[in-house]
Amino acid sequence: MGVVSRGPDGGPWQNGSGGQAGTGPHLRGPKQDRSRATRQRLLEAAVSCLAEHGWAGSTVSAVAERAGVSRGAAQHHFPTREDLFTAAVEYVAEERSTALRTLPPQDRRTVVAALVDLYTGPLFRAALHLWVAASNEPQLHARVTELEARVGRESHRIAVELLRADESVPGVRETVQGLLDMARGLGLANLLTDDAGRRQRVVAQWGELLEGALG
Q: Give per-residue pLDDT as tens, 105-129.
A: 778 888 899 888 888 878 888 989 9
The answer to whether 145 and 134 have CB atoms below 8 angstroms apart is yes
* Across 2-6, 67-71, 147-151, least confident range: 2-6
List of domains in the chain: 80-214 (1.10.357)
Estimate to the nearest angstrom the gap between the alpha carbon of 108 and the chain centroid. Answer: 24
2 — pLDDT class (breaks 50, 70, 90): very low
The answer to whether 92 and 123 have CB atoms below 8 angstroms apart is yes
Please, is 147 exposed, middle or buried when counting C-beta atoms within 10 Å of its C-beta (0-12, 13-18, 19+)? buried
pLDDT digits (tens, 9 = 90+) for 47-62: 999 999 999 999 999 9
Whole-model pTM? Answer: 0.75
